[in-house]
Chain A
């Protein structure tokens, strides 16, 4: 059983396009984390959300708690944005562990 589902699994975009990656979850959560995993394997935290919207540079993350859904948007995409984007949730009923989605692999073509 996968508590966290991401879509699409793979995404190819032209440089400059607006990108949306979706994350749906089936449990009550206290926090949602968007992460970026580089081709070499390293993982970088992008956003931690519990409500509303956050923006950092060209990245925007939103969450709708009632609909159990979050989106990560990338504006003016660039080839350096190519990476796997991972959604992870902290359940509100099972302590402090995070449950991860399988990731969305993004390739931005120049």
Chain B
């Protein structure tokens, strides 16, 4: 069964540093989401990406965040200047038929 992969599995960074989280979605999918989950809290929508551009974004997805699909396979989430409150699990989801979501294993981001 095709799967979504994410790298790295765990990233530790210092406050103010830039991080790039990577996702390889399912190859024939065109619609992708990024979510975050702060420890002990619910999953929150960040952004959806369709046809190589942002389709929708939440209030959380401010100017510090950006998404790209640089090479037609990888799908990246960049945080320009990390803050302590960016510490969370970040999940990529690849969307199939009828909006069924296939989640990656997540990247745990720790900002110190």
Contact = CB atoms under 8 A, between A and B. Distances in A.
B103 A42 contact: yes
Contact of B99 (A35, A44, A48, A99): A48
Interface string B31-74: 10100010001111100100000011010000000000000000
Interface residues of A, number: 22
Given A86-B43, A96-B48, A48 B98 contact: yes
Given A31-B99, A96-B48, A103 B42 contact: yes
Contacts, number: 58
Contact of A90 (B31, B99, B102, B105): B99
Interface residues of B, number: 23
State the main secondary structure of chain B at its contact with A: strand
Contacts of B43: 43, 86, 88, 100
A35 B12 CA distance: 28
A45 B102 contact: yes
16 contacts: A33-B100, A33-B101, A41-B89, A42-B106, A45-B101, A45-B103, A86-B43, A90-B99, A95-B56, A96-B48, A96-B99, A97-B56, A98-B45, A100-B45, A101-B42, A103-B42
